[in-house]
Amino acid sequence: MRFTGFCSALILVSLSAAASAEQTAWDLFDKVQHAVKQYNFDASFVVLKGTKVDTYRWLHGKTEQHEIEHLIPLDTSGVDILRRDALVYYLLADRPPFVTRSDSIAELPAVLFEPRANIEQLYHAVAGSNSVMSGRTAQLLRLTAKDNGRYDYWLWLDDQTGFPLRIDTMSEQQNALERWLVTHMQIAPQLPEGLVALLQTDLPAAPELATATNVTGKSHQLNWLPQGYTEVSEPAALPQLDSNLLSYWLLSDGLHQVSVFVQNSQRLPTQAYRDGATTIYVQSGSQVEVTVIGPVSIDTARQLAAAVH
């Protein structure tokens, strides 16, 4: 009986230690989200996808009344993106700004902004070791997917401020598919100078958002969804594709979005490839062509395409 009691005590201690370790990891997650939402900062980062490198400058500011951030591509082909509170403006050189509603910029890592409650449903959090990165002490935080087919995330946070220094999107084989890497970061008590004028600039109001309900599920059925995903009931319209679409679904697990398109067949070979963490899978048949685009494994994309009837 004493031995049984001793074993039970060991199990309780182990469970308590594991729960404490995971809580510590989630505290790190809260710290990184606080840094990108509450601090005034001027940062530069690169996004590495295979041999492709994209470079950006990211400015963020918070006042008592407003939040503002500006994402500036340092490559000539990019588009400036400005967010003021819940409106996001794509600043085009030769046309009026394109306006959407969101409390974050979609081109930034979604894991930095998605509510913790949603992340906890999809991932376990594990705190890793410290290392030195760009002269700063960095704490590793691993978000490990609970379900197969979903990518893991490894985040390195500045130990002092919690600001993200690096984010790797990891494949099932624990290879980095995509890397987000900060090359410069400055946190200050005041708004970055470049944001002060933008906070006062007159910009158009957001238009009413069109939806794509005219094609969603009209001609076909999607009979399977990856675990954790649900169908977005009113996805944004796709005017550039509407005339060619037979059916269209937008799926989301809260953090990621996956698009499934059905069009008339071009009679091309079935093909699959990756752009960083994004899979593009095209299944071609004699009558229709199914395209799956999103941050899922190729096997998951193949199952989605096969589920269209």
Quick check: do 17-200 and 230-306 share a fold? no
Q: How high is the pLDDT of residue 87?
A: 93
Model's pTM, two decimal places?
0.85
| Residue bearing the bigger pLDDT, 213 or 4 | 4
CATH no. for 17-200? 2.50.20.10
> Is 145 within 8 Å of 123 (Cβ atoms)?
yes
Task: Please state, for a pLDDT cut of 90, what percent of the chain lies above it.
Answer: 62
Average pLDDT over residues 232-249: 71
CA distance 229 to 232: 9
Mean pLDDT in residue range 9-30: 71
Who has greater pLDDT, 76 or 184?
184
pLDDT of residue 1: 56
Instruction: Give the pLDDT score at 162.
Output: 97
Query: Confidence class of residue 243 from pLDDT cuts 50, 70 and 90?
Result: low
H/E run at residue 258: strand 257-264
Report the number of secondary-structure helices (H) and strands (E) in the chain: 4, 17
Which of 72, 38, 31 has the alpha carbon at shortest distance from 55? 72
Q: 268 with 284: CB under 8 angstroms?
A: yes
Asked whether the predicted pLDDT for residue 8 surpasses 90, the reply is: no
pLDDT at 3: 58
Measured CA distances, 282 to 257, 271, 293 (Å): 17, 5, 9
Q: Kindly report, residue by residue over 161-186, the tens digit of the pLDDT.
A: 999 999 999 988 889 999 999 999 99
Integer Cα distance of 126 and 153 in angstroms: 11
**Residue extents of the structural domains in the chain:** 17-200, 230-306
Q: Give SS3 for 217.
A: coil
Q: From 167, 170, 169, select the one nearest 182 (Cα to Cα).
A: 167
**pLDDT given for residue 174 in this prediction:** 87
pLDDT at 84 over 50: yes
CB 83 within 8 A of CB 61: no
Q: Is 305 helix (H, G, I), strand (E, B) or coil?
A: helix
Q: Give dist(CA 205, CA 84) in Å, integer.
A: 11
Is the pLDDT at 18 greater than 60? The verdict is: no
- DSSP string covering 9-70, please? HHHHHHHHHHHHHHHHHHHHHHHHHHHHHH-EEEEEEEEEETTEEEEEEEEEEE-SS-EEEE
pLDDT at position 280 over 90: yes
Confidence check: pLDDT of 13 > 50: no
| pLDDT for 89 | 93
Q: pLDDT band at residue 203, thresholds of 50, 70 and 90?
A: confident
The mean of the pLDDT values for the chain is 87
- Residue 217 pLDDT: 46
**Greater pLDDT, 142 or 79:** 142
pLDDT above 60 (res 125): yes
CATH 3.30.200.100 fits 230-306, yes or no: yes
Is residue 92 a contact partner of residue 86, using CB atoms and an 8 Å limit? Answer: no
Q: What is the CA radius of gyration of the chain?
A: 22
> Is the model's pLDDT at 210 over the cut of 80?
no
Range among 153-162, 193-202, 220-229, 257-266 with highest mean pLDDT value: 153-162
